[in-house]
Amino acid sequence: MKLNLEEIARKTELFHGLTPQETTDALYRLNAVCKLYRKGEIVVHAGLEANRLMAVSSGHLHVYASAGDREHPVLVREIGVDEVLGLWILHMPEVACWPGTVVAVEDSVLVSLDLERFRGVVASSERHFARMTANSAKILSRELFSTWRKLMVMDAPTIEAKVKTYLSVLDSEGGHTGTVTVPFDRERMAEFLGVTRPSLSRAIGRLRDAGLLSWRKNVFKIKF
């Protein structure tokens, strides 16, 4: 598969608003490369030096982190198109290593940029770098909201409460329609909620028996 770096970069949100010439200049000065990661391939390992920003052009990624005495890493975040790995590290130079392991859930194309060079142009008065900085702030704000959502879910006291909180947040984001599409299968949903799949199935069953939800595959109708 042949990847055209400039064409792919122009389609990502990080480069929105830049002219073709500005995009070419930014890619050169930020030592950009483009890479395809196959399904199941590790993008970055936890603990490795964080020296690149990675904008997702296509595909889907999961971030896993170790959690106490749990046997398996916990799914802490999902990353989709136009999100950028490492944005918060960009503004925290004291963080030197990736805190989690990132895995491609499906074939994914990423545009990788030199993080130190990006730090050097964040405050630049040049129009295209100012635009990239504004774009990165917008993307980061979404990432912070995603983190806040995850914390809300994890703070719920029971598995039923975790499910209700998670579905309620998704319903709120979708306009309070009462119909929610979960972007995971049951195994991944259980990972995201930090519970086992059997425990999740039992909790969903209890909520159904109480008349609080129904579902077909990954589409839920909620009544709470």
Q: Over the stretch 55-68, which tens digit does the pLDDT of each residue have?
A: 999 999 999 887 65
User: Over the stretch 144-194, which tens digit does the pLDDT of each residue have?
Assistant: 777 777 778 878 889 999 999 989 988 887 788 999 999 888 888 888 888
The answer to whether residue 148 is domain-embedded is no
Q: Rounded mean pLDDT of the chain?
A: 89
Taking residues 76-101, report their average pLDDT: 86
| Whether residues 66 and 133 fall in one domain | yes
| Whether residues 99 and 9 fall in one domain | yes
CATH of the domain at 79: 2.60.120.10
| Whether residues 33 and 74 fall in one domain | yes
pLDDT score of 117 more than 60: yes
| Whether residues 58 and 161 fall in one domain | no
Residue 68: DSSP 8-state? T
| Whether residues 191 and 131 fall in one domain | no
CA distances from 204 to 45, 112, 185, 210 (A): 33, 40, 14, 10
Residue 206: DSSP 8-state? H
Give the separation between CA 58 and CA 72, rounded to whole angstroms.
Answer: 27
| Whether residues 167 and 133 fall in one domain | no
Question: What b/e string do you get for 121-158 counting C-beta neighbours within 10 Å, with b at 16 or more?
Answer: beeeeeebbebbbebbeebbeebeeeeebbeebeeeee
User: What are the tokens at 119?
Assistant: 């730090």
- Asked which of 73, 108, 141 is the last residue of a domain, the reply is 141
Domain tally for the chain? 2
| Whether residues 108 and 9 fall in one domain | yes
* Domain ranges, residue 100: 5-141
Contact between 54 and 23 under an 8 Å Cβ cutoff? The reply is no
| Whether residues 202 and 92 fall in one domain | no
Residue with tokens 């999961």: 62
The answer to whether residue 185 is domain-embedded is yes
Give the separation between CA 142 and CA 83, rounded to whole angstroms.
Answer: 9
Contact between 36 and 106 under an 8 Å Cβ cutoff? The reply is no
- Asked which of 87, 111, 141 is the last residue of a domain, the reply is 141
Taking residues 85-92, report their average pLDDT: 84
Query: What pLDDT, on a 0 to 100 scale, did the predictor assign at position 77?
Result: 82
Taking residues 6-29, report their average pLDDT: 95
CATH of the domain at 187: 1.10.10.10
The answer to whether residue 147 is domain-embedded is no
Query: What pLDDT, on a 0 to 100 scale, did the predictor assign at position 44?
Result: 94
| Whether residues 12 and 108 fall in one domain | yes
